[in-house]
A and B are shown apart, each in its own frame.
Chain A
């Protein structure tokens, strides 16, 4: 091996193959049959269960866990998929610690919730391993709906529409479906090509044609879609990235965290992925954590995650923050970037310390510098390429509770649409509900 964690600059192969394989293996190992039974037995089968209320897709969690405990994980998976067709991915990437597991009565009572996420994965993995698509399509309605974006929202919408008997043409800008599941989350949360397997399995319902390399403004217009299809659903995500708005942002070595993560996810061989000896990640969300942790796992010597507000304000959960620190990432709170400058062959990032007073961020007057070979920006994504005809609210496509946009016949959901958290599970709920609403209006 030519390189190590201390090799200066940006370099590939900082770690050997086995170490990388170990670093990027499943974050949470799947439950064995026996472990699943033991974990399932902890569920109290609560009345009107809080976990179910906390789930954006309202999965009947007590029921699916009971089905596991009686030896019918396949029936359990159907309970999950009937509410959330991406239940397999959600079992892996949902921040359960702030959703179902946070309100689990056993979390409240003992600080140790029922392992809902892992149980959901156990059930969904069991059924998906059988290769069976548990749903059948209704009789054809003769309608065809255009769905833009094959991310969680678009896939959930397309699947539900197909189930209801409609034909769906799904347009995807990239060369693969899955959206952020494929390009935007940490590799150790979705190992062994799960995102693609899930897309393939989901499409198994039939009636969905997936066209790659097409997006609004890139071969498609809203007007033509409206003219050619009975309804349009937009689930195009947020393709833009916020700028740091500080001096030196354009320097080589400064890049978008989403790009780094996407490249890493698509890499055939992790040994070929380059990472700096010193990495600075700026931001406070899941993307920031995923970029920081994966930099460390690739073999970066020092990784600092710098966030302008305090621990509690960070949108990455406390669990995610702890995961980052446990992997060796240093989190620096209350600091904002002022300037990126060249420093020899590397960079130096100047940060100003901040404090938050009555919600307002102010600088304390103190500052510090961090050496960096790579600087990753992870301060949020923005909507790009939204059709002009649509009303925009807070940088997102305005939708009502049914996902309808300001233009009749056009629905939107997922990260590109207003309302809800930017989570896979929320996108699935929005896509699904828009499909139901589209169905009711056709």
Chain B
């Protein structure tokens, strides 16, 4: 069985699955149970400055987008950072770390954007023996109104400044958690790098109104007739998170910066996808909040099995493996031609491909009177919509047209040579092929 031991910015954990800073990691009781269940590490729920702790709402904190059978697809929350006393948290962290030396414990922090505030808390964290800190520059609700969380993460200069203070007053790794509520994720990542961050973690939650109560005429979760935007996470945000991860991984400025991937990771496959896009490890929250800590066991067994099948002996074998294949649209090969092909043996005649193609695409699927569906290659642009709406996996596939054959749609031969937009005759700025 593959060895899942992962070393991320010098911190070793038995597997790459950490619990993200969130309600599951708010206290000793939970974290001990998480470790017993098999989690490789936790990022302790964000601590704030010494003094009276923050308070939370006393009405509902969460809202959800449900899929079939009330499956949680997206989760939104308006909970703030820990509302427990700083010293109680610090004591618990120290105790748990002492009992679980092989597991990673990272302490998430959010204090005002003043050097004194960081200077005050960092030695306290250092004393716990935790393995590192994560700077919460991401939470988009509540704390951002007070100049913290995403309010910092949206200003690269602040990120750089605070990261630098942390590197100055703290000896262990500093991970900067980024907010996705920005235009270009590469800017805050580069700022963290300039400030000396050991790694970035992303994404934090996305600003969101998850649903509206049409009787109360208020966003949900509704607190006494009012609602506010919350932070969105869960499987629904995975595509957004993976793009941001890949942008950082492939940007020349930030390439090589360690990334801890976060965003809707629910299964081993999700984790593997984040890792091949450049993450050294991953963090999970919604899956645990939906199914409990035990979900990590599937992640561990699934990733191990896949690694064995692929011959990977260590997670570092495949981390970042897909990054070279993430490119800009302009470099995609326009000479690569495929056509949809429907397996009549697998087709169940639902006609969804026909409805989708006929009504919204290229009228390239033909329907006979006895409900046989076929592809008209002279109209098919290979958009893949039929493949995706077909309820039967692999019933419709894209067949690569061999070089030398003729594309029935354009009447032109399929050529073997790569030809992208940068060299295309329709592109006014094209560079002539050599």
Does B98 interact with chain A (Cβ within 8 Å)?
no
Minimal beta-carbon separation of B68 from chain A (angstroms): 4
Does A38 interact with chain B (Cβ within 8 Å)?
yes
Residues of B close to A34: CB separation below 8 A? 70
Question: How far is A38 from B70 in the complex, measured between Cα atoms in Å?
Answer: 9
Tell me if B352 and A45 are in contact (CB < 8 A).
Answer: yes
* Nearest B residue to A109, CB-CB: B348
Tell me if A47 and B354 are in contact (CB < 8 A).
Answer: yes
Minimal beta-carbon separation of A46 from chain B (angstroms): 4
Minimal beta-carbon separation of A66 from chain B (angstroms): 13
Known contacts A105-B348, A108-B348; A50/B371 CB under 8 A: yes
Does A201 interact with chain B (Cβ within 8 Å)?
no
Does A368 interact with chain B (Cβ within 8 Å)?
no
Residues of A close to B348: CB separation below 8 A? 105-106, 108-109
What number of B residues sit within 8 Å (CB to CB) of A? Answer: 14
Please, what's the 1-or-0 string for A30-46, where 1 marks a CB less than 8 Å from any CB in chain B?
00001001100100111
Please, what's the 1-or-0 string for B61-72, where 1 marks a CB less than 8 Å from any CB in chain A?
000000011100
Does A366 interact with chain B (Cβ within 8 Å)?
no
Question: How far is A44 from B68 in the complex, measured between Cα atoms in Å?
Answer: 13
Tell me if A50 and B68 are in contact (CB < 8 A).
Answer: no
Please, what's the 1-or-0 string for B388-403, where 1 marks a CB less than 8 Å from any CB in chain A?
0001100000000000
Tell me if A105 and B349 are in contact (CB < 8 A).
Answer: yes
Question: How far is A48 from B353 in the complex, measured between Cα atoms in Å?
Answer: 12
Does B14 interact with chain A (Cβ within 8 Å)?
no
Tell me if B371 and A38 are in contact (CB < 8 A).
Answer: no
Does B351 interact with chain A (Cβ within 8 Å)?
yes
Minimal beta-carbon separation of A139 from chain B (angstroms): 35
Minimal beta-carbon separation of A106 from chain B (angstroms): 7
| B46-80 interface with A by 8 A CB criterion | 68-70
Tell me if A41 and B68 are in contact (CB < 8 A).
Answer: yes
Please, what's the 1-or-0 string for A102-121, where 1 marks a CB less than 8 Å from any CB in chain B?
00011011000000000000
Question: How far is A44 from B390 in the complex, measured between Cα atoms in Å?
Answer: 9
Residues of A close to B68: CB separation below 8 A? 38, 41
Residues of A close to B367: CB separation below 8 A? 47-48
Tell me if A46 and B352 are in contact (CB < 8 A).
Answer: yes
Does B355 interact with chain A (Cβ within 8 Å)?
yes
Known contacts A50-B371, A109-B392; A44/B350 CB under 8 A: yes
Tell me if B349 and A108 are in contact (CB < 8 A).
Answer: yes
Tell me if B352 and A47 are in contact (CB < 8 A).
Answer: yes
Question: How far is A335 from B46 in the complex, measured between Cα atoms in Å?
Answer: 81
- Most chain B beta-carbon neighbours within 10 Å: one of A45, A49, A105: A105
| B299-326 interface with A by 8 A CB criterion | none
Question: How far is A21 from B69 in the complex, measured between Cα atoms in Å?
Answer: 33
Residues of A close to B354: CB separation below 8 A? 47
| A390-407 interface with B by 8 A CB criterion | none
Q: Which of B69, B70, B371, B391 contacts A44 (CB 8 A)?
A: B391
Tell me if A41 and B69 are in contact (CB < 8 A).
Answer: yes
| B345-392 interface with A by 8 A CB criterion | 348-352, 354-355, 367, 371, 391-392
Minimal beta-carbon separation of A81 from chain B (angstroms): 26
Tell me if B355 and A47 are in contact (CB < 8 A).
Answer: yes
Residues of B close to A105: CB separation below 8 A? 348-350
| A104-142 interface with B by 8 A CB criterion | 105-106, 108-109
- Most chain A beta-carbon neighbours within 10 Å: one of B68, B348, B355: B348
Question: How far is A257 from B352 in the complex, measured between Cα atoms in Å?
Answer: 46
Minimal beta-carbon separation of B344 from chain A (angstroms): 13
Please, what's the 1-or-0 string for A377-393, where 1 marks a CB less than 8 Å from any CB in chain B?
00000000000000000
Q: Which of A41, A45, A50 contacts B349 (CB 8 A)?
A: A50
Tell me if B349 and A44 are in contact (CB < 8 A).
Answer: no
Residues of A close to B350: CB separation below 8 A? 44, 46-47, 105
* Nearest B residue to A103, CB-CB: B349
Residues of B close to A48: CB separation below 8 A? 351, 367, 371
Known contacts A38-B68, A41-B68, A41-B69; A46/B351 CB under 8 A: yes
Question: How far is A44 from B371 in the complex, measured between Cα atoms in Å?
Answer: 15
Residues of A close to B355: CB separation below 8 A? 47
Minimal beta-carbon separation of A15 from chain B (angstroms): 39
* Nearest B residue to A45, CB-CB: B352
* Nearest A residue to B351, CB-CB: A47
Minimal beta-carbon separation of A425 from chain B (angstroms): 22
Residues of A close to B351: CB separation below 8 A? 46-49
Residues of A close to B391: CB separation below 8 A? 44
Please, what's the 1-or-0 string for B100-118, where 1 marks a CB less than 8 Å from any CB in chain A?
0000000000000000000
Question: How far is A109 from B354 in the complex, measured between Cα atoms in Å?
Answer: 18
Question: How far is A46 from B354 in the complex, measured between Cα atoms in Å?
Answer: 10
Minimal beta-carbon separation of B276 from chain A (angstroms): 32
Minimal beta-carbon separation of B353 from chain A (angstroms): 9
Question: How far is A46 from B390 in the complex, measured between Cα atoms in Å?
Answer: 10
Residues of B close to A106: CB separation below 8 A? 348
Question: How far is A21 from B351 in the complex, measured between Cα atoms in Å?
Answer: 45
Please, what's the 1-or-0 string for B158-197, where 1 marks a CB less than 8 Å from any CB in chain A?
0000000000000000000000000000000000000000
Question: How far is A38 from B67 in the complex, measured between Cα atoms in Å?
Answer: 10
Question: How far is A37 from B68 in the complex, measured between Cα atoms in Å?
Answer: 8
Question: How far is A41 from B73 in the complex, measured between Cα atoms in Å?
Answer: 15
* Nearest A residue to B349, CB-CB: A105
Q: Which of B69, B349, B352, B392 contacts A38 (CB 8 A)?
A: B69
- Most chain A beta-carbon neighbours within 10 Å: one of B351, B352, B355: B351
Minimal beta-carbon separation of B307 from chain A (angstroms): 33
| A338-362 interface with B by 8 A CB criterion | none
Minimal beta-carbon separation of A3 from chain B (angstroms): 48
Residues of B close to A46: CB separation below 8 A? 349-352
Minimal beta-carbon separation of A45 from chain B (angstroms): 7
Minimal beta-carbon separation of B386 from chain A (angstroms): 12
Minimal beta-carbon separation of A104 from chain B (angstroms): 9
Please, what's the 1-or-0 string for B27-44, where 1 marks a CB less than 8 Å from any CB in chain A?
000000000000000000
Question: How far is A134 from B414 in the complex, measured between Cα atoms in Å?
Answer: 60
* Nearest A residue to B390, CB-CB: A44
* Nearest A residue to B356, CB-CB: A47
Minimal beta-carbon separation of A71 from chain B (angstroms): 11
| B93-149 interface with A by 8 A CB criterion | none
Minimal beta-carbon separation of B9 from chain A (angstroms): 43
* Nearest B residue to A46, CB-CB: B350
| A7-58 interface with B by 8 A CB criterion | 34, 37-38, 41, 44-50
Question: How far is A49 from B352 in the complex, measured between Cα atoms in Å?
Answer: 10
Question: How far is A263 from B367 in the complex, measured between Cα atoms in Å?
Answer: 52
Question: How far is A44 from B367 in the complex, measured between Cα atoms in Å?
Answer: 17
Question: How far is A45 from B351 in the complex, measured between Cα atoms in Å?
Answer: 9
Residues of A close to B371: CB separation below 8 A? 48, 50
Q: Can you pick out 26 interface pairs between chain A and chain B where the beta carbons lie within 8 Å of each other?
A: A37-B69, A37-B70, A38-B68, A38-B69, A41-B69, A44-B350, A44-B391, A45-B352, A46-B349, A46-B351, A46-B352, A47-B350, A47-B352, A47-B354, A47-B355, A48-B351, A48-B367, A48-B371, A50-B349, A50-B371, A105-B348, A105-B350, A108-B348, A108-B349, A109-B348, A109-B392
5 extra interface residue pairs, beta carbon distance < 8 Å, beyond A47-B354, A105-B350: A38-B68, A41-B68, A45-B352, A47-B352, A105-B348
Residues of A near any B CB (own CB < 8 A):
34, 37-38, 41, 44-50, 105-106, 108-109
Give the top 4 A-B pairs by smallest Cβ distance, nearest first: A47-B351, A47-B355, A109-B348, A105-B348
